[in-house]
Structure 1
Amino acid sequence: MTRNWTEEEQQALDYHAQPVPGKIATAVTKPCETQRELSLAYTPGVAVPVRAIAEEPLDAYRYTNKGNLVAVVTDGTAVLGLGNTGALASKPVMEGKGVLFKTFAGIDVFDIEIDADSPDAIVDTVAAIAPTFGGINLEDIAAPHCFEVERKLKERIDIPVFHDDQHGTAIIIAAGLLNALDIQGKSIHATQITCLGAGAAGIASMELLVALGARRENIMLVDRRGIVHTGRDDLNAYKREFAVETGRRTLADAMAGADVFIGVSGPDLVDAGMLASMAPRPVVFALSNPVPEVRPELARETRNDLIMATGRSDYPNQVNNVLGFPFIFRGALDVGARAINTEMAIAAVHALKALAHEPVPDSVLEAYEQETMKFGPDYIIPKPFDPRLIENVPPAVARAAIDTGVARYGWPAHYPQQ
């Protein structure tokens, strides 16, 4: 069947098709133009690093691309807002992730799309190919299977495993939220939080906020059936961690008196009445994309004392994962980290939080066609094209890796001296 694509959709298809299909390719990093160079690149010269690595496995980081190569892995069960498209149809998204890794942090990527009928099939496949890579970025795997896949892989392999839909989203949310709460004169320790969406992003974000000082009893998680409470018998193990004892049941109930709303769910689910019922000086992160849980125009008409973020680039305060994953992996790879742990995630949060307080470079103003941009209600997190991200986030992550004992190497020579 041939679909009639709109002009804009056809432009996207042409972008992906021309001048060659796809968005990423491999590149040769050593000369191979003479007989001597050929003999070094392959036989007989290649046998020397083979023997070296067989004797000392860490030499793979010295003689191969392992230390700068990440696998972007999916089963295609939760692709963007499109749902279960299957593995093959997810490939353009995974290639796109590779573009972002390379563009923002110089990291090479192989995209790995797996036809899998169970979480264990994904785990077995990734574990089997893990020697190739310096890190694994899990992507667009539906909850709750994504939690199981990540947990089992972390138990089986000794390179970082990072599910960006969980932890990448959580890190950017946390950095922006801490700054927003500072502006609103509130403390995360006493903040009442309502989270709409109990999938990968919602649960991981709440876990990270707890690690940063939020209290579980102050969090109301809301899914399709309402508030996640202790009286429900349909909760998986991950939701049960956030079940509260309450007589409230609906999203409207959960919004009443809340200091913070975080939406990682679907479009237009929050109305003006819910916003009006929130506590004074609320923070609203409506991150459903492309249509937020509540439109910024309605939110600002209803409340003139809120700070708002969305997942969109055409409104202030875009919560964009590209602020996190390239730079987090850069720091992890640069010290040969065996994992990306909570301490490394928290280090990334604080690095992003602090960067938003610094004067914004002219290059960023030009990229976003702004005359001025400074820390405040409409600028609580850095912009993706801020060149200081690569200077600030990787060293913070690397330092945390070293301090927590998951780094294979010490402080990189090319990093700023401490």
Structure 2
Amino acid sequence: RLRETLDIPVFHDDQHGTAIVVLAALTNALRVVGKDLSSIRAVVSGAGAAGSAIVTLMLAAGVEDVVVYDRLGCLSRHDETLPPAQRRLAEVTNPRDVRGDLRAALDGADVFIGVSAPGVLEAEWIPDMAEDPVVFALANPDPEVDPAEAAKHAAVVASGRSDYPNQINNVLAFPGVFRGLLDARATDVTVEMMLAAAEAIAGVVTDDQLNPSFIIPSVFHPDVPTAVATAIREG
């Protein structure tokens, strides 16, 4: 692997950057609805580069119940037919061994995070989720569900688009990450650093600012790069 062969940090914006910002937004979304990371059920649609990185960081942050859904259905460790990449995800997720389609995965879930394809989530399925559900539909430019339709049923909705509230944009993670890595003379990007960066981004949104339409700071917020750099340097 590239990270193991180089003596400099390897940072992938669509993986590490997206995972950091998603965790920051999720942290604040759960503050809005009064839930804890350790107690939620989450569904991640998409088992590619972004999805796998998001799941890895969510697990490290304390989320215990994550179901990953992709074109093969809900990934299960008991499915011997899974390709290697999906099998690695299945081994650390889906503790209740949920099987079937996306709607089956969403039943009783607190959180949906989509990094997959347009239109895979029907807004009418959201009421099947737990009370005060959180929906992050991040496929760009066309999200998994129309944010306006999702907002009719979900307590908090985010997307990757700038024309709706709560844009989850991986640019929030850098240049702060790079500045922090340079300051620390780091040779790797660790999970601890990424957790610290997510906490720093979430913390920029103060209690009096936090609301369902404002869970993540603007990409132009002047405090974000410094907060992230400090978190990476000290993480």
Deviation at 1:226, TM superposition (A): 0.9
**3-state DSSP class of the match of 1:284?**
strand
**3-state DSSP class of the match of 2:89?**
coil
Q: What does residue 78 of structure 2 align with?
A: 231
State the TM-score, normalized to the length of structure 2: 0.93
Counterpart amino acid of residue 399 in structure 1? E
Q: What does residue 175 of structure 1 align with?
A: 24
Match of 2:54 among 205, 230, 240: 205
Instruction: Indicate if the aligned counterparts of 2:172 and 2:225 stay in contact, CA closer than 8 A.
Output: no
- What whole-Å deviation, never above 9, does each CA across 1:370-407 have from its counterpart, x for those lacking one? xxxx221111111110111122110111111xxxxxxx
Deviation at 1:162, TM superposition (A): 1.1
Please state if 1:389 is matched with 2:213: no
Q: In structure 1, what is the Cα distance between the partners aligned to 2:101 and 2:159?
A: 23
Q: In structure 1, what is the Cα distance between the partners aligned to 2:18 and 2:57?
A: 10
Deviation at 1:247, TM superposition (A): 5.2
Deviation at 1:267, TM superposition (A): 0.7
Q: What does residue 117 of structure 2 align with?
A: 266
Q: In structure 2, what is the Cα distance between the partners aligned to 1:190 and 1:270?
A: 23
- What whole-Å deviation, never above 9, does each CA across 1:23-60 have from its counterpart, x for those lacking one? xxxxxxxxxxxxxxxxxxxxxxxxxxxxxxxxxxxxxx
**3-state DSSP class of the match of 2:200?**
helix
Higher-RCO chain (CA-CA 8 Å, sequence separation at least 6): 2
Q: In structure 1, what is the Cα distance between the partners aligned to 2:207 and 2:132?
A: 24
Counterpart amino acid of residue 210 in structure 1? L
Structure 2 gaps of 5+ residues are: none
Q: In structure 2, what is the Cα distance between the partners aligned to 1:354 and 1:187?
A: 16
Please state if 1:187 is matched with 2:36: yes
Please state if 1:334 is matched with 2:169: no
Aligned residues: 231
Deviation at 1:232, TM superposition (A): 2.3
Counterpart amino acid of residue 211 in structure 1? A
Instruction: Indicate if the aligned counterparts of 1:219 and 1:242 stay in contact, CA closer than 8 A.
Output: no
User: Aligned ranges for residues 115-130 of structure 1 at < 5 Å?
Assistant: none
Q: In structure 2, what is the Cα distance between the partners aligned to 1:382 and 1:237?
A: 37
Match of 1:290 among 106, 126, 141: 141
Write out the 4+ residue segments of structure 1 that deviate beyond 3 Å after TM superposition.
none
Larger radius of gyration: 1
User: Aligned ranges for residues 282-361 of structure 1 at < 5 Å?
Assistant: 282-301=133-152, 303=153, 305-357=154-206
Q: In structure 1, what is the Cα distance between the partners aligned to 2:207 and 2:195?
A: 19
Deviation at 1:205, TM superposition (A): 0.4
Match of 1:242 among 77, 89, 99: 89
- What whole-Å deviation, never above 9, does each CA across 1:206-244 have from its counterpart, x for those lacking one? 1101110011xx111001121101332332344223323
Q: Pairwise CA RMSD of aligned residues? A: 1.5
Counterpart amino acid of residue 257 in structure 1? G
- What whole-Å deviation, never above 9, does each CA across 1:129-165 have from its counterpart, x for those lacking one? xxxxxxxxxxxxxxxxxxxxxxx12211111011221
Instruction: Indicate if the aligned counterparts of 1:160 and 1:340 stay in contact, CA closer than 8 A.
Output: yes
Please state if 1:254 is matched with 2:105: yes
**3-state DSSP class of the match of 2:112?**
strand
Q: In structure 2, what is the Cα distance between the partners aligned to 1:390 and 1:260?
A: 27
Match of 2:132 among 281, 288, 291: 281
Sequence identity (%): 44
State the TM-score, normalized to the length of structure 1: 0.53
Instruction: Indicate if the aligned counterparts of 1:220 and 1:242 stay in contact, CA closer than 8 A.
Output: no
Instruction: Indicate if the aligned counterparts of 1:248 and 1:254 stay in contact, CA closer than 8 A.
Output: yes
Q: In structure 2, what is the Cα distance between the partners aligned to 1:247 and 1:350?
A: 30
Structure 1 gaps of 5+ residues are: 1-151, 360-373, 401-418
